Amino acid sequence: MSLKDIQAQVDEWTSQFTPQYWKQHEILAQMQEELGEIGRILNRVYGPKPPKEGETINELGNELSDLLFAIACMANREGIDLDKEWEKTNEKKFKRDSKRFEKKE
């Protein structure tokens, strides 16, 4: 699955609604909600909180994917090409950030 495909699938799915995309701040609020879910899961699986009854604790992948969906919505709304942005991120990491952390011996 490519970023281009993901953006196209999201565009197809959202095209059935009106308005097609939420406002930017509304998408951000949705992202905050997804990140909150990730926090909830981490604090139960790797942290101090006991799971509540009936709560599944193994849904991290699900939430990461929902967050990816929200990223694609924001990108589509703003005309951002995630492939191009990823290329820049990747380049920056390999160049700028290659000396930021402790290297293996």
- Whose tokens are 């905050």? That residue is 32
DSSP code at position 57: -
- Show contacts with its own copies in window 38-67 (CB under 8 A): 38-40, 42-43, 46-50, 60-62, 64-67
From 8, 51, 55, 90, residue interacting with its own copies (rule: CB under 8 A)? 90
- Kindly state whether residue 11 participates in binding its own copies, applying the rule CB under 8 A: no
CA pair distance 19, 73, nearest whole angstrom: 12
Tokens of 97: 């950030």
From 8, 26, 51, 55, residue interacting with its own copies (rule: CB under 8 A)? 26
CB atoms near residue 91 (< 10 Å): 10
CA pair distance 71, 69, nearest whole angstrom: 5
Site of interaction with its own copies (CB under 8 A)? 1-4, 6, 9, 13, 16-18, 22-26, 28-40, 42-43, 46-50, 60-62, 64-69, 71, 74-75, 78, 80-90, 93-94, 98, 100-105
